[in-house]
């Protein structure tokens, strides 16, 4: 794979930060956009802008409808889903999960029903369930972690019961990098008739997803972590389950009958997927997401996974050689394309600032996973995350910057 040629497709990677070439190691937060995505968005907004849905004004207005339908089918293929109508447009992973938590949970959860989460969840897959559990009187259970940051599946078996209604877990932890065994989780949940929702925000750009093969019931991801634009996300759900979800936002779709006292509820419930979306869809962002998926398909999953695995292995091994640095999470065999760590005597925020002076962009905080950091007994970690455009040389720059920070703070102390 020609990494130099791939990097040339990302204009932002050619800039400098504080006089140093940008080393972007924060793709777990948001990935950069290739020229094809930028061009697709610009072309739509300058040549073809229109609203999808409602009364279209002739052939021009129909372009938006056609574009949205085309990308919906593209996402369906990307996820190996069975029906394009199972693809729901949202603003991102957080909205997708809220749609299930509010639209399904408010309608179907009863007092005493149980929801199982994991202790490694991002707030987007934690807070919505906490809120709906409080509202509906449901009980939250948490899958504990092993000492090396994996889900304790033996404990999951103990947590599952006939009252379990749903298990919600990330595909890959945004802090630990843990790749969770989704098929095993689904098999366990099925024995009790429980549904499974997957936060795939950290999966979608790093590994192929096949929702039918995995057997999950809901899956959510964001476009901006997939080399696409912000403001667009996807909720996939099994068709029969989407029919049981109430809209999160009311009033944005067409009603067959609407009077002073309400609407024809039967007609509304049949109008999938539009009834779970809103009018005024961000068509340019949807088009951009389609271009991002084309970019991934052009490179190929085999090339992507091989390159990112090599980067992660190099980063993991190199970081572990730095005195006082502790990598958080499992070993290489069960780790995605990110490494979070702490450095003795150097606060993550200070380390991030020192790396920034070298042009290195990493993330230093609790990464919207406060529950996990509380369990680890640490306030924050530094995270370096990798994508198709990163290189071994950038990892060397990262490690050199960390060593400089260690030497600096040793002198200060």
List pLDDT tens digits, range 303-332.
999 999 999 999 999 999 999 999 999 999
**Residue 220: is its pLDDT beyond 90?**
yes
Q: What is the mean pLDDT of residues 92-112?
A: 97
CA 360, chain centre distance (Å): 23
CA-CA distance, 27 to 206, in Å (whole number)?
A: 11
Domains along the chain? Answer: 3-30+300-412 (3.90.1150.10), 38-297 (3.40.640.10)
**pTM (two decimals):** 0.94
**Residue 17: is its pLDDT beyond 80?**
yes
By percentage, how much of the chain surpasses pLDDT 90? 84
**Residue 260: is its pLDDT beyond 90?**
no
Catalytic residues: 368
pLDDT given at position 10: 98
Query: What average pLDDT does the chain have?
Result: 93
pLDDT given at position 76: 98
pLDDT given at position 413: 53
Q: Which of 101, 99, 73 is nearest to 86 (CA)?
A: 73
CA-CA distance, 238 to 219, in Å (whole number)?
A: 9
Using pLDDT thresholds of 50, 70 and 90, give the confidence band for residue 333: confident
Q: What is the mean pLDDT of residues 168-175?
A: 98
Q: What is the mean pLDDT of residues 41-59?
A: 70
Residue 222, strand partner residues: 233
CA 65 → CA 57, 58, 142, 273, 333, distances in Å?
Answer: 11, 11, 42, 13, 44
User: On the CB side of 123, how many CA atoms lie within 13 Å of its CA?
Assistant: 6
**Residue 266: is its pLDDT beyond 60?**
no
**Scanning the structure block, which residue is given the tokens 């990935």?**
31
Using pLDDT thresholds of 50, 70 and 90, give the confidence band for residue 173: very high
Burial tier of 92 (Cβ tally within 10 Å: 0-12, 13-18, 19+) = buried
Q: What is the mean pLDDT of residues 152-170?
A: 98
pLDDT given at position 55: 52
Using pLDDT thresholds of 50, 70 and 90, give the confidence band for residue 257: low
């Amino acid at each position: 794979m020609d990494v130099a040629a791939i990097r040339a497709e990302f204009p932002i990677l050619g800039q400098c930060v504080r006089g140093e070439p940008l080393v972007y190691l924060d793709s777990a937060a948001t990935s950069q956009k290739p020229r094809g995505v930028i061009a697709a968005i610009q072309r739509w907004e300058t040549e073809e802008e229109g609203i999808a849905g409602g009364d279209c004004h002739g052939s021009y207005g129909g372009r938006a409808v056609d574009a949205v339908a085309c990308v919906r089918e593209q996402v369906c293929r990307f996820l190996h889903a069975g029906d394009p109508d199972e693809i729901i447009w949202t603003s991102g992973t957080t909205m997708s999960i809220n749609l299930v938590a509010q639209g399904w949970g408010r309608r179907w959860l009863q007092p005493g029903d149980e929801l199982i989460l994991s202790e490694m969840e991002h707030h987007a897959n934690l807070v919505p369930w906490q809120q709906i559990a409080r509202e509906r009187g449901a009980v939250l259970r948490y899958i504990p972690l092993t000492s090396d940051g994996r889900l304790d599946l033996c404990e999951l078996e103990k947590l599952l019961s006939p009252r379990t209604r749903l298990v919600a877990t990330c595909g890959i932890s945004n802090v630990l990098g843990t790749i969770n065994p989704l098929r095993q989780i689904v098999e366990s949940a099925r024995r009790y008739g429980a549904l499974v929702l997957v936060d795939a925000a950290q999966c979608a750009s790093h590994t192929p997803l096949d929702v039918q093969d995995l057997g999950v019931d809901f899956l959510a991801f964001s476009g901006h972590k997939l080399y696409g634009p912000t403001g667009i996300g996807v909720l996939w759900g099994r068709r029969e389950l989407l029919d049981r979800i109430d809209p999160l936002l009311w009033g944005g779709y067409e009603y067959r009958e609407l009077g002073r006292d309400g609407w024809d509820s039967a007609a509304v419930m049949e109008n999938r997927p539009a009834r779970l979306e809103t009018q005024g869809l961000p068509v340019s962002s949807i088009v951009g997401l389609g271009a991002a998926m084309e970019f991934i398909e052009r490179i190929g999953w085999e090339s992507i996974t091989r390159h990112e695995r090599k980067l992660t292995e190099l980063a993991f091994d190199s970081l572990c050689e730095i005195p006082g640095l502790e990598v958080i999470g499992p070993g290489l065999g069960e780790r995605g394309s990110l490494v979070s760590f702490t450095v003795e005597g150097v606060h993550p925020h200070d380390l991030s600032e020192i790396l920034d002076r070298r042009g290195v962009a990493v993330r230093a905080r609790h990464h919207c996973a406060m529950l996990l950091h509380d369990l680890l007994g640490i306030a924050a970690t530094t995270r370096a995350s990798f994508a198709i455009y990163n290189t071994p040389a950038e990892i060397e720059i990262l490690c050199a910057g960390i060593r400089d920070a260690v030497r600096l703070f040793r002198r200060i102390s």
